Structure 1
Amino acid sequence: MAHLVLGIESSCDETGVALVRVQGEGVPQLLAHALHTQVAMHADYGGVVPELASRDHIRRVVPLTKEVLAQAGQALEAIDLVAFTRGPGLAGALLVGAGMACALGAALDKPVLGVHHLEGHLLSPFLSADPPEFPFIALLVSGGHTQLMRVDGVGRYELLGETIDDAAGEAFDKSAKLLGLGYPGGPALARLAEFGDATAYKLPRPLLHSGNLDFSFAGLKTAVLTQARRLEGAACEQPRADLAASTQAAIVEVLVKKSLKALQATGLRRLVVAGGVGANARLREELNAACAARGVRVHYPELHLCTDNGAMIALAAAMRVQAGAAQPSQNYAFDVKPRWPLHELAVAA
């Protein structure tokens, strides 16, 4: 079993590198991690430019690796396993991390392991001060993904519901753009919403009463567009704040009620929330209250580990190897999977 695992994340607009230590069958320990975000670079374009993202990963990944090793007080030769994000994500960006990992593995004569980006998010709460226990329901709200999964162990995932169009993160970002807010849109909309009335606009909650656990946020985006056009030229800022608050309330209500339905349908009493949207304060507040009222434990990653990062990749690799759900390889011919459904990782119970 690998003792020191280096993780490299480069799926989109953050370059992350981390080192974890594996001690027996316990949860791996995070020794050090470093992250560079490309938000400032992409802000002028209003979104991620894939070519620029790939080039920036190339510039950052080696210095970040050196920084992590220095933080941990470890030599490069001490690494036992190199993990990287294999997918899903931007193909060019993924290739940077995969190339770096496989080059390191070949140079050190150590195995490598490609990791699913969403599995990294799903398992990231195990690095928190309040780690979960299996089994649990996972609400994955990361970028273009919104999914509810039943998780019985590492690699033992059952898809319960997912978005059929826009994901929650996309609904935040696109609504923010319609309101003339900066990039990244989600945090900007949440900040403006703090000054608004969440009941000011009656916005739709698509599929809220559908009877299944799927999501849809495209209709909400259209409703926000209609209201935003009516506010064009308005002298007062309050209506925009009210629309931001109403939009956030609609997204949060759907996420909370669908999560509660998943818990009820499975009879499980533990919920894990992971991904960038999991950092939203309103979502945490409402989930905490709803779960406390039902005797359900809810777990989140630490706030600094909600966005993409290398720690979750190193952790996921270590936990997969511990559970016997993956076998590292010393075949350094790599590929990436820009589209890769998480439930394809499922192993037999």
Structure 2
Amino acid sequence: MILLNKGHFYKSLSLRKLLHKSKNVNTIRHYKVLAIESSCDDSCIALLERTHPNQTPTIIDHTKKTLNSAAVGGIMPTAAYTYHMSTIANMCIEFCSKHQLSATNPPDLICVTRGPGMAGSLSSSTEFAKGLSVAWNVPLVGVHHMLGHLLTSFLPTKETEQKQPPNFPFLSLLCSGGHTMLVLSKSVSEHEIIINVSDIAVGDSLDKCARELGMYGNMLGRELEKFIKNIPTEEIKEFENLQVDTRLSNKYNFKLTLPYQTPKSGKFQDDLIQFAFAQFLSNIQSYKKNFLNSKIIEDDKIKRMIAYKTQEYIFDHIIDRINLAFKKHGLDRWSDGKFIGVKDFVCSGGVAANSRLREKLFNNLNHKEIGENPLSFHFPDLSLCTDNAVMIGYAGMEIFEKLKLKTNLNFIPIRKWPLNNLLNVESWVKVDDDEINRVCKYKN
């Protein structure tokens, strides 16, 4: 038996009180979520904390490492898989050490991207997340990647901390390297795809066009935007007024048209209201071959002209399709009224970081087709436009708390997962209120 003198006794008693107080604090602490994303070529980890079910979470920290694929001209699935397999675990060790997360102090919930995406890239993080879930004995949520992008608009931005989040129902333009779609969202789980893409996504098109123009980098769409921003003002004015509907209408013999045409009859066909971006690359390739007789563009001004007009027309095509959808689902006499009452418009995904796209959406969407009041626009912070784990953590929180769902550990990644079939996949498990209360340690 160890005997304690009076001083030691009081010190021991104070220590026990401190430990007891610390234990009580832990039982009512705010709940934390560890999130992992690796659907493409970004390895991402984030830690979020929520203090109240009706408040947006605090982003404690988030980090990202990206495979450098500039030298090979694009993302190679096998290389991305190898990269994630050699990156995720060490990233997580460093991240958890930084934030004192461990088996004795685990997060309360784990969220990981289940799909859509490249199967190998997805599996590298889903299997790792399963291991953490088992080791730490915490529930796991497999999150839809595009739902993450869509819900990012609910997080406050640095520029507009006080701006109200969108209210359901709202419209979202999800535009990235792998997806381009207009979505009508009625709740966290109810999403209708209004416009989808028929060939390649807008981000993929911008990347390919930039590469065809001789640009180099890991994010070519961003390089194209930077290149265009550096065009002299007087040339911008010239290019704005340049008619390119026929080759004879301009001195460059450059022709560019929008994909599809708005029906002259005023009636709508579903196969016409879709996005298409492959032709913009084909147009540049054809021009180089037939009019420049070269694989490279030697005239810098021609290069600037093509870059400017191509980006403008790509974004004009997006505007044209959305305005056509407004007519079909708004107040037009041929419409079904599906959009009437929508007050908020969200633009998210990697291409949403493009300032020119944001400007054109704000200035050119014909909101009067769906109501008298102007739309309220929502754009995520630039750091949350491209793939990130913050959006996965937030979407997972909403799924767990609002839909009362988690994911069984027998789940597998889903390479193609339509957003309108969010809940129509295997491995969703209902959670009861006791488990939600056990995980979400909110203060009274």
TM-score over 0.5 for the pair: yes
Q: Does 1:253 align with 2:316?
A: yes
Deviations 1:87-121 (A, max 9, x none): 11111110111011000000011111111111111
Structure 2 distance, partners of 1:144, 1:121, is: 12
SS in 2 for 1:144: coil
2:376 — aligned with what? 297
How far apart are residue 333 of structure 1 and its match?
Answer: 2.7
SS in 1 for 2:112: strand
Note the 1:2-151 alignment, pairs <5 A. Answer: 3-22=31-50, 23-38=52-67, 41-69=68-96, 72=99, 74-75=101-102, 77-129=105-157, 130=163, 131-151=165-185
Q: Does 1:223 align with 2:223?
A: no
Residues 178 and 228 of structure 1 are in contact (CA less than 8 Å); yes or no, is this contact kept in structure 2?
Answer: no
**Distance 1:191-1:157 versus aligned 2 partners, 3 A rule:** same
Deviations 1:267-302 (A, max 9, x none): 222110011111111101111223598611111111
SS in 1 for 2:259: coil
SS in 1 for 2:186: strand
How far apart are residue 5 of structure 1 and its match?
Answer: 1.4
Deviations 1:122-165 (A, max 9, x none): 11121233432222100011212111110111011011110111
Q: Does 1:209 align with 2:262?
A: yes
SS in 2 for 1:84: strand
How far apart are residue 55 of structure 1 and its match?
Answer: 1.6
**Distance 1:296-1:50 versus aligned 2 partners, 3 A rule:** same
Structure 2 unaligned blocks of 5 or more:
1-29, 158-162, 245-254, 330-338, 369-373, 425-444
- 2:388 pairs, out of 293, 299, 309, with 309
Structure 1 distance, partners of 2:189, 2:364, is: 28
**Distance 1:156-1:65 versus aligned 2 partners, 3 A rule:** same
2:304 — aligned with what? 241
Residues 82 and 105 of structure 1 are in contact (CA less than 8 Å); yes or no, is this contact kept in structure 2?
Answer: yes
SS in 1 for 2:406: coil
Structure 1 distance, partners of 2:307, 2:173, is: 23
Structure 2 distance, partners of 1:228, 1:274, is: 33
Structure 2 distance, partners of 1:118, 1:167, is: 13
1:345 — aligned with what? 422
**Distance 1:24-1:94 versus aligned 2 partners, 3 A rule:** same
Structure 1 distance, partners of 2:101, 2:316, is: 46
Residues 157 and 346 of structure 1 are in contact (CA less than 8 Å); yes or no, is this contact kept in structure 2?
Answer: no
Look at both structures and tell me which one has the larger radius of gyration over its CA atoms.
2
Runs of 4+, deviation exceeding 6 Å? none
2:335 — aligned with what? none
Q: TM-score, normalised by structure 1?
A: 0.90
Per mean C-alpha deviation after superposition, the further-off stretch among 53-62 and 286-295 is 286-295
Instruction: Read off the aligned partner of 1:250 and give its amino acid letter.
Output: Y
Q: TM-score, normalised by structure 2?
A: 0.72
| Percent pairwise identity | 32
SS in 2 for 1:155: coil
